[in-house]
Structure 1
Amino acid sequence: MSNHKNLRNYLLPLVLGVFMFGFYMLGLREGEGTPIQQEFVVRETVLCGMPFTRLTQENITLRMPKELQSVKPIHVTTDADKCIGKVKVNTQMEFSKSENQTLYYCIQKNAEVSRLRTESLNRLDRSLTSSYYKFLKKKPDAKIVEIGGYVGNLMSRLIRDTGVKTYVVLEPVPSFYKKLTDRIKREALAVTSYNFGLGKKETELTIGIQGDGTSLKKSKGDGASLKKSQGSDKGKETLKIVKVVDFFVQLGIGCHRLDLLTINCEGCEFDVIEMLTSTSLVENIDYIQFQPHNSVFNDAGTYLCLYCRLRRFLSRTHQVAYEYPHIWETWKRKGIS
């Protein structure tokens, strides 16, 4: 009798395990979006095995490069060189077991990107990207940085809704930058603008101009789609890119807090946020608002991995404040009421 009882004790968990595994595999085989799910499970090292950014303390520039010496710290009493020593490198970029489990769940949850984008667009409150931050009116020294200013549409609305007096905007495309600065003058806005973009390394790129869809990612040859510019070289412009960490150190973020960082740069959001989370800089930014761009990638799996990795990085220091998946979302620093 005891032998039968022991056999039952061994067999029951085994049968349940086989059943759960079969149910899981059935779930993978059925429904929309499963090719991406299956590909992720089978080819994890290919899809999400992209190397993490591995900075060392020596990667934090000890002296600002010439291109950034004209950038003014947003706190007038701040010397950027004094902030460098306060910026620490995150030495634990690799995900823990529980973080990897959350990453897998995120991939499966977001497998149907097109459907989720459509749903987000249908319920999107388009004013939210500026109206959400009306509470900043109560803070007389609020500071905002915008990456990817284009021609100033969001800039004007954010300044109107927040009353912010310190606003920094970056726009790397020269023709867009001209329209942006014309608008700043026309509307008499208290804005500091810079004609460069941000990336993991300092470089110059010549890209085809595609209106508000112009993307640095489409010109890198790193698996992203490369759209041909229309006509001759008249449709191309040369852009300057500076290092993410250097720029934020020069702004003085190593010493002081930034109220809002808003990013709409057609794909550069992945590099910007990864680099910020690679250092302690991210801990000094209260709100991070960004628009994730799947359209700049040919490979849906690559986009999903980058998107879910970005969310895992942010979740270490921030939490979701609002989200319209794959359209707009904002994360606020943990501990903010």
Structure 2
Amino acid sequence: MMEPLQMRITSLVCFVFGLVIYFNMTHKNITPKETHVEESYITPRQPKPKEVYAEESYEPLQSMDHYPNTFPVRHCGSNQTYVDFGSGDILTDEQKANVEKCFSSYMDVIQDSYDAELIDRNIRYTSHSYLTQQSVVIEAGGHRGIDTGEINSRFRPGYYYVLEPVPSFYNLLVQKFNESKNVVVFNFGIDSSDGTFHIQESSNDAVSIFAPRNETGEKIYIVDTTKFFEKISVRSRDVDLITMDCEGCEYAVLDRLLTTDYIRHFRNIQFQPHRIDRICFPLRRYCWYQELLRKTHKLSFQFKFLWENWKQL
């Protein structure tokens, strides 16, 4: 019979030996190593790849196929219309040369514009300190209300009209700005003429009326730009700012402004030019606008082909 003391010693040795085996098994190859912390733990944003956009070839009208003292209006494949500022003598020879230079510079310029806009993205919100409680603002393309919230929270203009044709986004905007009594949301978009279009009900992105037409899904409404301007009495109270991120409607609005005296009633014109296949000549039209807007406005900021604002002279 083993003595009690011997039994205790034996048990203790077995226990210690078991612990040694356990720690060797569970901590094998887990020796702490020296760690190195980078100065910045955020993965740098990769540069946006160069955009490739091939625009269809453009031919100006050989003869002015329109009435005297009017602008030539031509049809797009998407059944929209556009003002052909490149035909006839609307632009001077110098301006036409500037347009060609602007058009051909697109691929060289667009990457720099993306990079610059990434650094100073908020300028389209912060550069409107002229807005007061008497100001009128129009935003075409309210979407989820990001731009509306950014501009309205900073400056609280007296009237802030938001146009959003997609019902789900419209309902979101109404709910989001329910307490902002100066914000009025309309459930339609604007373009060169009245119209109705259909979108898929599950659409969660900004919607362009220039996308291929379909006859199923949710119906959205488009109002002629002039009718909307008349509705809010633009000629009797100037618009301090119109800002457009509306998936292509900016071209129709600029066509209308530049062919009527409405241009004199808009103190600031801010827009993002979209390049969508079914919009006729978006690059060339953008370059036309660069020449024509200079007659009444001057640039206050520009990320060329991406975002810019023109202030009244």
Aligned CA distance change for structure 1 residues 112 and 104 (closer, same or farther; 3 Å): same
Among 88, 91, 115, the alignment partner of 1:95 is 91
Aligned partner of 1:308 in structure 2 is: 287
Among 165, 172, 183, the alignment partner of 2:158 is 165
Structure-2 separation of matches of 1:126 and 1:286 = 22
Aligned CA distance change for structure 1 residues 93 and 196 (closer, same or farther; 3 Å): farther
Structure-1 separation of matches of 2:133 and 2:272 = 27
Tell me the secondary structure at the aligned position of residue 219 of structure 1.
coil
Describe the superposition over 1:261-285 as per-residue Cα deviations: whole angstroms up to 9, x where unpaired.
Answer: 1111011111111112110001110
- Does structure 1 conserve the Cα–Cα contact (< 8 Å) formed by 2:110 and 2:306? no
Aligned partner of 1:87 in structure 2 is: none
Query: Which has the larger helix fraction?
Result: 1
1:152 and 2:145 correspond: yes
Aligned partner of 2:128 in structure 1 is: 133
- Does structure 2 conserve the Cα–Cα contact (< 8 Å) formed by 1:263 and 1:269? yes
Aligned CA distance change for structure 1 residues 297 and 275 (closer, same or farther; 3 Å): same
- Does structure 2 conserve the Cα–Cα contact (< 8 Å) formed by 1:196 and 1:239? yes
TM-score of the two chains, using structure 2 as the length reference: 0.68
Deviation, 1:188, is 3.6
Aligned partner of 2:235 in structure 1 is: 254
Deviation, 1:251, is 1.4
- Does structure 1 conserve the Cα–Cα contact (< 8 Å) formed by 2:139 and 2:242? yes
Structure-1 separation of matches of 2:65 and 2:274 = 20
Deviation, 1:246, is 1.6
Structure-2 separation of matches of 1:268 and 1:52 = 26
Tell me the secondary structure at the aligned position of residue 235 of structure 2.
coil
The aligned amino acid for 2:192 is K
Larger radius of gyration: 2
- Does structure 2 conserve the Cα–Cα contact (< 8 Å) formed by 1:320 and 1:332? yes
1:108 and 2:104 correspond: yes
Structure-2 separation of matches of 1:149 and 1:183 = 11
Deviation, 1:163, is 2.0
Structure-1 separation of matches of 2:118 and 2:136 = 31
Aligned partner of 1:239 in structure 2 is: 220
- Does structure 2 conserve the Cα–Cα contact (< 8 Å) formed by 1:54 and 1:93? no
- Does structure 2 conserve the Cα–Cα contact (< 8 Å) formed by 1:319 and 1:331? yes
Q: Which runs of 4+ in 1 moved over 4 A?
A: 48-58
Higher relative contact order (CA 8 A, sep 6+): 1
Structure 2 alignment gaps of length 5 or more: 1-49, 71-84
Structure-2 separation of matches of 1:157 and 1:252 = 25
Identity in percent? 25
Aligned CA distance change for structure 1 residues 96 and 140 (closer, same or farther; 3 Å): same
Aligned partner of 2:75 in structure 1 is: none
Structure 1 alignment gaps of length 5 or more: 1-31, 59-89, 221-227
The aligned amino acid for 2:100 is Y
Structure-1 separation of matches of 2:177 and 2:112 = 35
The total of aligned residue pairs comes to 248
Structure-1 separation of matches of 2:193 and 2:67 = 12
Aligned CA distance change for structure 1 residues 50 and 147 (closer, same or farther; 3 Å): farther
Tell me the secondary structure at the aligned position of residue 157 of structure 2.
coil
The aligned amino acid for 1:99 is Q
Describe the superposition over 1:178-235 as per-residue Cα deviations: whole angstroms up to 9, x where unpaired.
Answer: 11111111x4442111111111111111134643332112136xxxxxxx9xxx95xx
Deviation, 1:55, is 9.2
